Amino acid sequence: MQDKQRKTRKMNIKPITDPSRPKVYIETYGCQMNMNDSEVILSILQDAGYALTEDIGQADVILANTCSIRDNAEQRIWGRIDQFRLQKRRRDGVIIGIVGCMAERLKEKLLDGHTVDLVAGPDAYRSLPDLIRQISPDKPQINVLLSHEETYADISPVRMDRNGVSAYISIMRGCNNVCSYCVVPYTRGAERSRDPQSIVREAVELFENGYREVCLLGQNVDSYLWKHPDSADKNVNFAQLLEMVAKVSPDLRVRFSTSYPKDISDEVIYTMAMYENICRHIHLPVQSGSNTMLEKMRRKYNREWYLEKVGKIRSVMPDCGISTDVIAGFCGETEQDHKDTVSLMEAVGFDSAFMFQYSERPGTLAARKYPDDVPPEVKTARLNEIIALQNRLSLESNTKEVGKRHKVLIEGTSKRNEEEFTGRTSNNKVCVFAAPGHKPGDYVEVEVLSCTSATLIAKLI
């Protein structure tokens, strides 16, 4: 039975474009988890007889896989719903669906405008074919039940990437940390981890189909823990899972995201150092450099602990890239709190960062307990200062790479020059270089000649 299942998984890895099938069009917003969820959705719908289309004007079913992390992400979706309404006016029978985190958060409110026919939360994707079949003009469908068990472990995602080189593997779902500003625990539920053997099988499948890099995904990968039904001695934690995936092949690169500072263990750091094909990069969101803000955010670590963890990483892997997330203008943030964030960024010297103004999310602890009292113009000024600082730090980090040699996996052609390739170093720096005779999926050695704050300019060795 297992061999039969694996054979089916290989057959489903690429999108079906059969013109005789009804067409589904999928737009994806938000994080890497949402991108992987869209691949799960497509797999389920392909098995139900649908085919993917990239032309919204040909779609029988239009789905938006949504994000609720920030208000501007939701506003984009409302704008797209207005555009989807035009498709319904032009063609009878078009079905509009909102799935993912925004569906889970807003639920029936999405049905109020009579444009949306289908609302499905992140744990309801298996029900999509039945929900679609039951839709009629006066009968929209909704399923936003959260599960303590659903991991979609038995579903082989249909890969929607364009390069055929890098792919995502979801290893767990949900989050238990309940940071005061975050909607994830409410839209994706509690943590539950996939069976490690299903993850390894998926990695093997990808490698056998030509992929040369996988990124293990979870809201908090460091808390991954699969509990064996018969023996606690056979439980698998994240460090052990990393090793299992790394052993699939030395030619399969392994990345992961996202780490939670309080949960990343020394075992994970040492496992990374043991295997060359586990990439030397950790995304370690700090959010703020102020202990007052960190406590209010319920991050469960302080500034000193975070800096100590960064020191541990660099003592074991001096070449490890470290990126982060930063929130500007959280509730009650003072000028000193902001300066603490700036000084921490300077102290760490992050290679890159995702930086945002705080936007209040309804239903979170912060929305209930803390006033959003930092003026918008102050948030903007602080964010601009943080962005300018990170641009300088990124340039300084990249400048240190000039003259060094790196093993790079070619991911595709450069957007600016079709005669050049682009790929990433192990420590997650983007390289651009000419490599005649090579193709995406090849490993090459390059020497860095120059850089910008975002890119290394290199030559083939």
The CA distance from 238 to 135, in Å, is 41
Residue at 228: amino acid letter: H
Name the least confident of 72-81, 89-98, 132-141. Answer: 72-81
Q: Which one-letter amino acid corresponds to residue 169? A: I
Mean predicted lDDT score pLDDT of the chain:
94
132-186 pLDDT, tens digit each: 999 998 899 999 999 999 999 999 999 998 789 999 999 999 999 999 999 999 9
Alpha helices in 217-302 (DSSP H): 238-246, 266-274, 291-297
Pick from 451, 440, 452, 436: nearest CA to 408: 440
How sure is the predictor about 12, in pLDDT bands with cuts at 50, 70 and 90? Answer: low
Which residue in the block uniquely carries the two structure tokens 């203008």?
329
How far the first Cα of the chain sits from its last, in Å, is: 47
Q: Would the pLDDT of 246 be above 70?
A: yes
Lowest mean pLDDT among 7-21, 100-114, 132-146, 167-181: 7-21
The share of the chain scoring above pLDDT 90, in percent, equals: 89
Whether the per-residue pLDDT at 111 is higher than 90: the answer is yes
**Model confidence pLDDT, tens digit, residues 265-308:** 999 999 999 999 999 999 999 999 999 999 999 999 999 999 99
Give the CA-trace dihedral at 246, 250, 256, 260, to 10 degrees: 60
pTM for this entry: 0.93
The CA-based angle 224-230-234, given to 5 degrees, is 45
pLDDT for residue 260 is more than 80: yes
Q: Which residue has the higher pLDDT, 74 or 375?
A: 375
Please state whether beta strands 456-460 and 430-433 pair in parallel, antiparallel, or not at all (unpaired).
parallel
Burial of 310 (0-12, 13-18, 19+ CB in 10 A): buried
Torsion sign, CA atoms 269, 270, 275, 280: positive
